[in-house]
Amino acid sequence: AQSVTQPDIHITVSEGASLELRCNYSYGATPYLFWYVQSPGQGLQLLLKYFSGDTLVQGIKGFEAEFKRSQSSFNLRKPSVHWSDAAEYFCAVGAGTGFQKLVFGTGTRLLVSP
């Protein structure tokens, strides 16, 4: 069965520092991978997605992610974190017949210190 692991429950980063959030997936075929952000009291917003092609994917808000098939990973990065980036980040894999649903990781809460 498909699964997603986000090994870091919480991460604290200083404002202006770089960020990397880890995501590992388990999926038998070529995965469709997503990163979402959930700010307090708000819904989920898609940051970026990977379907195929270039393994380095650019997203919104200055985020990027790199798909590494050999490591079954899809880590999210940002070169310089802003205080407004503090939120919950979810990695997800498209699963099911015909890619009919998302399986989410447990999430990583990002805290940004001054």
Residues that bind another protein (CB under 8 A): 32, 34, 36, 42-44, 46, 49, 51, 90, 94, 99-107
Within 10 Å of residue 47's Cβ, how many Cβ atoms?
22
Determine the Cα–Cα distance for residues 104 and 94; give it in Å rounded to an integer: 9
Within 10 Å of residue 66's Cβ, how many Cβ atoms?
16
Smallest separation, CB 16 to another protein (Å): 28
Determine the Cα–Cα distance for residues 56 and 65; give it in Å rounded to an integer: 6
43/114 with CB nearer another protein: 43
Partnered with residue 78 across adjacent β-strands are 19
40/114 with CB nearer another protein: 40
Beta carbons of 60 and 36 less than 8 angstroms apart: no
Smallest separation, CB 23 to another protein (Å): 12
Smallest separation, CB 102 to another protein (Å): 6
83/99 with CB nearer another protein: 99
